[in-house]
Structure 1
Amino acid sequence: MSIPTPEPVGNHISTWGEGSLWDRDTLLYVDIEAHKILRFNPKTGEEKIWDAGERVGTVVPRAKGGLVYGGDKGISFLDEATGEITLIVDPEPHLPHNRFNDGKCDPAGRFWAGTMPTDVKAPKASLYCLFPDLTIENKFSPVTVSNGIVWTRDQSTMYYIDTPRRNVLAFDYEVSTGVISNERIAIDTAQWNASPDGMTIDSEDRLWVAFCHGSAVRCFDPKTAKVEAEIALPCIEVTSCAFGGEDLGDLYITTGKAKFEEPLAGRLFVTRPGAKGVPAVPFAG
């Protein structure tokens, strides 16, 4: 499919943008290293920005109002009106160099988010599930850099990225319990000299994967593992993507700054790839 060149939108320039998600006619995302949570309104251009006071890897809306995010200290609530932060849980107090990275809510409103070590690249992190009653379970470990996570329309499959594995994993998923099983490789990305990072899913169950250090987002059919589309970005650190807009037909893409100068690094981009996303589920707790 022919896809228009992504255009930068908004004014914020992220040190390391991540965690994009469409919510209430706006795009939520984070600037990890700047400790920021952002809500961008594409109609007005308004950007609401909250300082989390810590690195924050992912953010999702809460059904009761406000936001839920994962950061250095664990998982917390954020009151959008006051900026008040309330810590919910830190499942890794024994691992002070670990922080939360990417995450999303499953079809039942459970918040899945995983951790990563900030000191050394080693498999000493985990993927967690926060239930609506605020209990938390370790669902998959060990992992090294927990990243993109999505669920299929029929709620039978969960896809997940642990970045250094250079693949997309698939699991059988039980929506009533949140149990995952039958781990397998759905897509092998080792042919690209880049790291699979954030990921979203469209209405046809195709996977759109951002490639960090790779200047691209690629669309895969997980049934065949074939590339259906590729979007080139004008900066190397491409970190996450999310469908948004009135028809969920806009693809927003976050980026980060590299170790060398790039004029558009850290910008938020948008394009119309000819596919449509699915609504994000808020945290039910």
Structure 2
Amino acid sequence: MTPELISNHVSEWGEGPIWHGDRLLYVDIETYKIIALTPSTGEEKIWDVGQRVGTVVPRASGGLVWAGDNGFFFLDESTGISTPIADPEPNLPDNRFNDGKCDPAGRLWAGTICLQKRPDASLYCLHTDLRVEKKFGPVTNSNGIIWNRAANTMYYIDTPSKKVRAFDYDNATSAITNERVVWDTSADPSSPDGMTIDSEDRLWIAFCHGAKVVCFNPATQKEEMQIDFPCVETTACAFGGPDLRDLYITTGKKPDLEEPLAGRLFVCRPGAQGVPSSAFGG
């Protein structure tokens, strides 16, 4: 399988893809940008939010929600104006928000990364009433997060741990319990990064420093597929397209490494189907 280029934008560090409606949203962390790509027309809309942005999700009532250096924000797409919601870590200047997604009930879960590589970061939940709750920690680099079809299991990655964790999940209350490791990737020299899930509850995980996306089945504890890329920093993936069978993959540029295709957005059809994303309900 050969992934194809799809975007014009070249990211310094692309991350956080999510399909909603007829377009793909993702971020370019280091250049402060949120990108919306409509593959059917090729249209790209780009907003500069003025700070590093780790994640973006659609808002059910319109507009976007994102999280970055200084907490959570709403974004008005027509004006480009961002409105602060909350910052749970104003006393931690070495931290910024990283990856995040909405759970099936419309809450936004997003975690922080400590840029000094200390275990000073945490995973938070932005509830639909705009209350922020710390859910898990300490971690060092909060990353991929996703829920299964039954909405009773949450999967989560703290990248430096090289472990994919699972929690029992209560969709009514947002409670997480029974933490466990479903895949320990310590033997791999690369590290698990962004993650999505398909209609068969298989995890699709991008490996930073690994030039690959791996499909892992938690039910069988087996790797079922690997997709290779022409650039080492594969960062995150998401299913999209009209039938949710297109897998979009973001990438980043590795310093001091000349890779012509690094930072580009790729797409392929690996024979799996994704599930609809959830928008923020607040």
Shorter-chain TM-score range: over 0.9
Q: Which amino acid aligns with 2:225?
A: A
Structure 1 residue 8: Cα displacement: 0.8
1:284 aligned partner: 281
TM, length-normalised to structure 2? 0.99
Residue 161 (str. 1) matches residue 162 (str. 2): no
Match of 1:256 among 233, 252, 262: 252
| Separation of aligned partners in 1, 2:7 and 2:194 | 20
Residue 69 (str. 1) matches residue 66 (str. 2): yes
| Identical-pair percentage | 66
Match of 2:138 among 125, 138, 142: 142
Match of 1:57 among 51, 54, 62: 54
| Separation of aligned partners in 2, 1:192 and 1:234 | 18
Paired residues, number = 281
Structure 1 residue 88: Cα displacement: 0.2
Q: Which amino acid aligns with 2:177?
A: S
| Separation of aligned partners in 1, 2:241 and 2:108 | 23
2:27 aligned partner: 30
Structure 1 residue 224: Cα displacement: 2.2
Stretches (4+) displaced over 3 A: none
1:177 aligned partner: 173
Unaligned regions of 5+ residues in structure 2, if any? none
Question: Which deviations, in whole Å up to 9, do the C-alpha atoms of 1:232-277 show, x marking residues without a partner?
Answer: 0000000000000000000000000012110100000000000000
Question: Which deviations, in whole Å up to 9, do the C-alpha atoms of 1:93-152 show, x marking residues without a partner?
Answer: 11011100000000100000000112x111100000000000010000100000000001
Write out aligned runs for 1:212-251 (5 A): 212-251=208-247
1:106 aligned partner: 103
Match of 1:206 among 199, 202, 207: 202
Question: Which deviations, in whole Å up to 9, do the C-alpha atoms of 1:141-164 show, x marking residues without a partner?
Answer: 100000000001011100000001
RMSD: 0.5
| Separation of aligned partners in 2, 1:223 and 1:43 | 35
Match of 2:11 among 10, 14, 39: 14
The SS at the match of 2:260 is coil
Unaligned regions of 5+ residues in structure 1, if any? none
Match of 1:79 among 55, 76, 88: 76
| Separation of aligned partners in 2, 1:121 and 1:225 | 29
